[in-house]
Amino acid sequence: MAPSTRTSKLSSTSTSHQPTVPATMDVDLDLDLDLSVPALDEPNVGSESSVGPPTAGPSTDQHGPPTPPPPDCDWNISGSPASKYGPPADNFKCNGHYRDDLFEAALDEILKTSSTPSAADPATFEKYKMVRPNKSGNAKGILDDGTAIERASEFLFNVAGEIGYKNQGVALGPMGTHGLDEIIDSKRFPKGRIVLNEASLPVLCNDQASEIHAVVVKAESQFRDEDQPHLPPLTEEGRDEYFIERVNKNIVGHCLRRKDRLFSGIELSTDAILGFPTGTRSGGLVSSAHAGGHGGQEPETAATARLSLNRTYPLSYWPQIEGKRFNFTSNTRILQLPFYDTQGNLIAPWDMARVLRPGTVIVARCALVMWNFRNQKPLHKYQLKIRKLRVYDYSLEEAENHSPPTFIVPSPSVVVEDAPASDSEVDERPAKRRRIQN
């Protein structure tokens, strides 16, 4: 699809909004596509010779001449002037549904032309099979093309959609997927979690969830047949009944979220957002390659950090990582995840919540894995693991706070009562509030 100029349904009465300028960033991506639209597989460096996404058209103001979006916003495939670190200025107005048919067509073109197949396409999983390559019982997905299991590559597919809210399960802060009552230490690092909003792009989300669900159901019945060969193979209807029974008994944990008796919520998760530099788990000095310094220059800070894939950064770069809930060893570091903005630049871990705001449209290259837990439930836990993520449309919404709140232990003399939410509170917060009274 060739780049084209389009007219946006967005209007603005000011062009003074200037987004925060990001730090200099290194990009470490394999270039395996040659597309005229922004590709999950290809970083764009913004030079005149770069292949970029469709140029956003000017914002149309009903009461004045068109005004162009901020300079870094022409990478949004919807033509939105939303910037990397936040929505436009307060006097910005949005007219109607700016993510229209042209936007959906552009996203569809990205998925169709990517070298990584889409989870929404039934053909993607025609030869797909989950295998357990070793005695641990953990499983990975491969293409069943006759290759020996030990040599088979992990099969990756694209999942796309709009990022949801914290109350839908999104977790992009220091707590990761852990609860507020858990102490996070160097043996239990937090992970990031992205849940897609089912109400946005409903056809795409439904198609993706349907195909992923079918794959998981098939895999679970396959493992049953392998572990109990004396039993007759399950029919297609029997597979569904077998799977639901195991989910209801908490024997199987699905990678999809259940809503109204349907598995429809797509949940993606990352590797741990913290870790150790190579070879330092047992302690010792951090190598100069990971120390964040540049010989003879000023010490590096979070604002000046050079981002590169698999690099680690000091905990001080993420100020919220402190307090009683965190018990890290001195060599614990922040890991750079493979998250990229619309221009192919890495997103700093401490900026994830600011950039990946509710409503941000992403395409994630994922792998389906199954973890085998022998002495706890669920015994089989399926996970959609993010191997690479790319933003294609920034959100017009404000960022949510993903840092843990200050924890106050109530004294025995206080009474805790349920308090209804006030009318002024936004609906992405928990449905029930609790207040403490003396």
Which pLDDT tens digit goes with each residue over 59-84?
333 333 333 444 444 589 998 889 99
- Identify whether the C-beta of residue 271 lies closer than 8 Å to the C-beta of residue 335: yes
- Identify whether the C-beta of residue 169 lies closer than 8 Å to the C-beta of residue 163: no
What's the CA gap between 438 and 258, in Å, rounded? 39
Q: How confident is the model at residue 145 (pLDDT cuts 50, 70, 90)?
A: confident
- Specify the residue for token string 């997927």: 177
| pLDDT for position 182 | 84
Non-local (6+) Cβ contacts of 134 within 8 A are none
Helix or strand or coil: residue 65?
coil
**pTM of structure:** 0.76
Helix or strand or coil: residue 306?
coil
pLDDT, greater one: 317 or 88: 317
> Is 74 within the bounds of a domain?
yes
The count of other CB atoms within 10 Å of the CB of residue 414 is 10
DSSP letter for each residue of 197-219: -TTSSHHHHHHHHHHHHHHHHHH
Closest by alpha carbon to 290, among 309, 304, 318?
309
What's the CA gap between 283 and 377, in Å, rounded? 33
Closest by alpha carbon to 25, among 432, 438, 343?
343
| pLDDT for position 261 | 79
| Most confident residue range from 55-69, 165-179, 359-373 | 359-373
pLDDT at 282 over 60: no
Q: ω into residue 404 within 30 of 0, thus cis?
A: no
- Dump pLDDT digits (tens) for 115-137: 999 999 999 999 999 999 888 89
> Is 417 within the bounds of a domain?
no
Which tokens belong to 68? 């162009």
% of the chain beyond a pLDDT of 70: 70
Non-local (6+) Cβ contacts of 305 within 8 A are 23, 292, 313, 317, 348
- Specify the residue for token string 């010989």: 295
What mean pLDDT comes out for the span 157-183?
92
Mean pLDDT of the chain: 76
The count of other CB atoms within 10 Å of the CB of residue 158 is 24
Q: How confident is the model at residue 296 (pLDDT cuts 50, 70, 90)?
A: low
> Is 400 within the bounds of a domain?
no
| pLDDT for position 181 | 81
Of the CA atoms within 13 Å of residue 90, those in its CB half-sphere come to 0
What's the CA gap between 109 and 39, in Å, rounded? 10
Residue 224 has φ and ψ, to the nearest 5°, of -65, -45
DSSP state of 248: H
pLDDT at 230 over 60: yes
> Is 410 within the bounds of a domain?
no
Non-local (6+) Cβ contacts of 438 within 8 A are 413, 414, 415
Altogether, the residues listed in the chain come to a count of 438
Lowest mean pLDDT among 29-43, 67-81, 359-373: 29-43
- Dump pLDDT digits (tens) for 94-103: 666 789 999 9
> Is 292 within the bounds of a domain?
no
Non-local (6+) Cβ contacts of 186 within 8 A are 276, 327, 328, 329, 332
What's the structural domain count of the chain? 1
> Is 319 within the bounds of a domain?
yes
What's the CA gap between 87 and 399, in Å, rounded? 9
Burial label for 23, CB within 10 Å (0-12, 13-18, 19+), is middle
> Is 3 within the bounds of a domain?
no
Sign of CA dihedral 108, 110, 111, 113: positive
Domain that holds residue 263: 10-281+301-393
Q: How confident is the model at residue 411 (pLDDT cuts 50, 70, 90)?
A: very low
| pLDDT for position 366 | 98
Q: How confident is the model at residue 291 (pLDDT cuts 50, 70, 90)?
A: very low
Burial label for 367, CB within 10 Å (0-12, 13-18, 19+), is middle
Burial label for 104, CB within 10 Å (0-12, 13-18, 19+), is middle
The count of other CB atoms within 10 Å of the CB of residue 272 is 14
Helix or strand or coil: residue 319?
coil
What's the CA gap between 69 and 77, in Å, rounded? 13
Non-local (6+) Cβ contacts of 375 within 8 A are none
What's the CA gap between 159 and 117, in Å, rounded? 9
> Is 125 within the bounds of a domain?
yes
| pLDDT for position 198 | 92
